[in-house]
Amino acid sequence: MAKMRPGVITLNGFLGDDRRNLFDIIQDDELSLERLGKTTKEIADRMNYFSKASWESFGEEIMVDEHYLVSTDVVRGKLPCPFGHPGIYRKAITTLTNTKNIISIRWTSLNIHLIEAHGFFEGKGSTFRLDPHTLCEAIF
């Protein structure tokens, strides 16, 4: 958890104002996924799909699959996984708006890895916290 605190890897950290321990954060989100009938792999694959579809849009929105407005902004730099997993992830932020239900959401390249490899959607109040229910409503 020390690597997830503000100022260690990112300015604001990964935990937000969530007072739960890391295990409880992950377990609560896992229970949400069970209720939704989705896996972390399905979610990460879908997020990757949209990020890759908009990668060359240079920050401009593009329409994907008739009702998803998507853009990806890439900035300089890379981030390591706070779990110590090998690899570093480009600083890229994908923004998606589902035009059917008007839900907008954004994620980073690192978010995709954290969800797929660690089942971690970040702590409540975190800058890039992805609520599993809202995320699923947006991308499926």
Read off the pLDDT of residues 55-65 as tens digits, 9 standing for 90 and up. Answer: 988 779 999 99
Residues in the chain: 140
| Structure confidence at residue 122 (pLDDT) | 98
| Structure confidence at residue 98 (pLDDT) | 98
Tell me whether residue 82 is in a domain: yes
Tell me whether residue 128 is in a domain: yes
Non-local (6+) Cβ contacts of 133 within 8 A are 32, 36
Tell me whether residue 13 is in a domain: no
Tell me whether residue 81 is in a domain: yes
Range of the domain at 79: 19-139
Domain count along the chain: 1
Residues of the chain below pLDDT 70: none
83-94 tens-digit pLDDT: 998 889 999 999
Token duo for residue 86: 């090998």
C-alpha 78/C-alpha 75 separation (Å) is 9
Tell me whether residue 125 is in a domain: yes
